[in-house]
């Protein structure tokens, strides 16, 4: 068994708090930052070594790490519920910070704006959700509303619910947005039918369907970009 070292015997990289104070937070690796969150490792490895092991299981991708649940994190030797909760909470704060930053520039000018706005909400979802973005005459977001949630491969959307929300908020136009947990970015036949129904119903109420964006992790599909709206 590896002999437990005292903190004074640890290498600099195994003392991330001291390293941060001396060199600044930008000098820390991902593993060192995460080690600060969990506090300490176990008797066999330091917190930094433990987080290196966890990151390695996620291909050293923080986005993949953020998708792990408390139970999945607890499967790693050395991580209990308290440490797992700290890591999950940190991931959630990261997503909320991104949303807060986007709130200040919430004018929609292209499909990328839609993706940047909705990706933090949808990137880690295990099931499909459908949202509608309601826009004013300046293409600024009045509100974003979840219309439905469903299974892994589909969710049921009531066209009346979409139009009701748009009318209540006096929206001039709207953008439909849903995710594909499978990672398949292409639209389905059901997606196409829904787009047609929403567009036709919106036209009847003089509310324009500006786009329908399918969000996957790292990429998206836009009906407008594809020339289908």
Question: pLDDT tens for residues 133-174?
Answer: 999 999 999 999 999 887 665 578 899 999 999 999 999 999
Q: Which two tokens stand for residue 123?
A: 């990137």
- Residue the block writes with tokens 């060192």: 32
Instruction: Provide CATH 3.40.140.10 ranges for the chain.
Output: 105-222
User: What's the order of all strands across the beta sheet hosting 129-135?
Assistant: 141-149, 129-135, 173-179, 208-216, 219-222
Angle between helices 111-122 and 81-103 in degrees, nearest 10:
160
Q: Which distant-in-sequence residues (6+ apart) come within 8 Å of 128 by Cβ?
A: 149, 150, 151, 152, 153, 154, 155, 178, 179, 180, 181
- Residue the block writes with tokens 């001291």: 18
Q: Specify whether the CB–CB gap between 30 and 60 falls below 8 A.
A: yes
* Model confidence pTM above 0.75: no
Q: Specify whether the CB–CB gap between 132 and 147 falls below 8 A.
A: yes
pLDDT, tens only, 35-91:
999 887 665 688 899 999 999 999 998 888 988 999 999 999 999 999 999 999 998
Instruction: Provide CATH 1.10.150 ranges for the chain.
Output: 7-100
**pLDDT(1) > 60:** no
As a CATH number, domain 7-100 is 1.10.150
As a CATH number, domain 105-222 is 3.40.140.10
For residue 105, the Cα-to-chain-centroid distance in whole angstroms is 18
- Residue 195 has a pLDDT of 96
Helix (H) or strand (E) holding 213: strand 208-216
């Amino acid at each position: 068994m590896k002999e437990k070292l005292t903190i004074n015997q640890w290498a600099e990289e195994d003392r991330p708090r001291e390293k941060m104070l001396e060199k600044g937070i930008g000098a820390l690796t991902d593993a060192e930052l995460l080690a600060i969150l969990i506090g300490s490792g176990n008797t066999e490895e330091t917190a930094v070594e433990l987080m290196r092991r966890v990151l390695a299981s996620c291909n050293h991708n923080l986005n993949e790490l953020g998708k792990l649940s408390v139970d999945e994190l607890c499967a790693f030797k050395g991580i209990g519920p308290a440490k797992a909760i700290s890591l999950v909470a940190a991931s959630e704060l990261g997503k909320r910070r991104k949303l807060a930053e986007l709130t200040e520039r919430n004018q929609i000018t292209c499909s990328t704006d839609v993706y940047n706005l909705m990706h933090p909400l949808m990137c880690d979802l295990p099931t499909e959700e459908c949202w509608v973005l309601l826009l004013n005459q300046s293409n600024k977001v009045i509100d974003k509303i979840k219309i439905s949630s469903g299974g892994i491969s589909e969710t049921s959307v009531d066209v009346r619910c979409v139009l009701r929300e748009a009318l209540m908020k006096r929206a001039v136009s709207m953008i439909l947005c849903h995710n594909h947990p499978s990672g398949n970015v292409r639209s389905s036949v059901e997606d196409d039918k829904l787009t047609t129904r929403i567009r036709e119903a919106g036209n009847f109420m003089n509310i324009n369907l500006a786009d329908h964006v399918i969000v996957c992790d790292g990429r998206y599909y836009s009906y407008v970009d594809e020339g289908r709206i």
